[in-house]
Amino acid sequence: MVVVFGTVCLDRIRQVPAIPAPGGYVEIESERELLGGEAANTALCLKAWGVPYALFANPIGDDPEGERLVRLIGEKGLPAERFQKTAPRTPVCDVYVTPDGERTMIGRGFSDMGQVVSLDGLPLEPGAWFTAEPNFGPAARAAARMAIGADMKTYLMDFLRDDDPIAEGSFWQTSTDWAGFKGDAQATLDWAKSWSGKFGCHTLVTDGALGLVYSNPSSRGAVLNAFPCPLTLDSTGAGDAFRAGMLHGLVNRHPLHECLAFASAAGCLTCGYLGATSSTPRLDEIEDLMMSNQPILDAIAESVGLCS
């Protein structure tokens, strides 16, 4: 099982021709509301790929946005009854997507989530996987420590503080939006090697279409190419799909290079959808993308093999 701890929110996806300069104006070309949040995005991928999971997320508000969010949660087959309406307001993220697939996010209702999240009933199963992002601040860090104390395997995303509960041998993921150096694979790899050495963890730093770097404490690390995206509409949720892809492989005890290839392909295909949860890459789509790019698949296997 994978316990997915983190954010569930209402995403308002808006396509715009560009992000305006200060004082400027652009017209919204399309708009839709979707289920969003890192935890929801990851859980939906795991659900679609047959990985047992438990979603432990924030409460929502007793407001119109909360009503719409509960409906979207139910439509996606997630346990809507789990979401209590005890938050001051429902977290909402306005996502502005430009023609290059990049997104700019502006939210409300997130900063107070850590104060209303209760850890009562957090599933703690020795040997199971626990994954989280730090949006809930102290509550997220306390949950991760509880999982480690319960002998769960941990996969943390975007925990960037030096005092974060990153266990030796765990998996840790971020993107060049938060760490490393956009467009500079070698500098990002050097950063990742330093992070792995500090915490003793498997370190993954993604850089969108430019690929990713992987490092562990005992290796020189590797720069891995990304699979080519058949279509790029929106990068929202690509990192969450990558995390779910890694967990899919780890739960099924696949070799590390297969986990990385699957995760990379899943994140790539997610960019072909508008919003993170409008659709989820199917297993056959992911496998087809991998098989149709055999040189990249072989290079990942070779590079990761040198890291073992």
The alpha carbon dihedral of 73, 207, 204, 232 has a sign of: positive
The reported pTM is: 0.96
In total, how many domains does the chain have? 1
Asked whether 77 and 45 are in contact (CB, 8 A), the reply is no
Q: Give the list of residues 6+ apart from residue 64 with CB closer than 8 angstroms, or none.
A: none
Main-chain phi, psi angles of 9, to 5 degrees: -150, 175
Buried-state track 36-57, b at ≥16 Cβ within 10 A, e below 16: bbbbbbbbbbbbbbebebbbbb
CATH number of domain containing 43: 3.40.1190.20
Tens digit of each residue's pLDDT, the chain (308 residues): 999 999 999 999 999 999 999 999 999 999 999 999 999 999 999 999 999 999 999 999 999 999 999 999 999 998 866 788 888 999 999 999 999 999 999 999 988 888 888 899 999 999 999 999 999 999 999 999 999 999 999 999 999 999 999 999 999 999 999 999 999 999 999 999 999 999 999 999 999 999 999 999 988 899 999 999 988 999 999 999 999 999 999 999 999 999 999 999 999 999 999 999 999 999 999 999 999 999 999 999 999 988 87
Terminal Cα-to-Cα distance of the chain (whole angstroms): 26
280 to 49, 181, 211, 288, 301: CA distances (angstroms): 9, 29, 21, 15, 25
The domain of 285 spans 2-305
Give the per-residue pLDDT at 81.
Answer: 66
- Residue 31, class by beta-carbon neighbours within 10 Å (0-12 exposed, 13-18 middle, 19+ buried)? exposed
Cα 2 from chain centroid?
14
- Residue 237, class by beta-carbon neighbours within 10 Å (0-12 exposed, 13-18 middle, 19+ buried)? buried
Give the per-residue pLDDT at 64.
Answer: 96
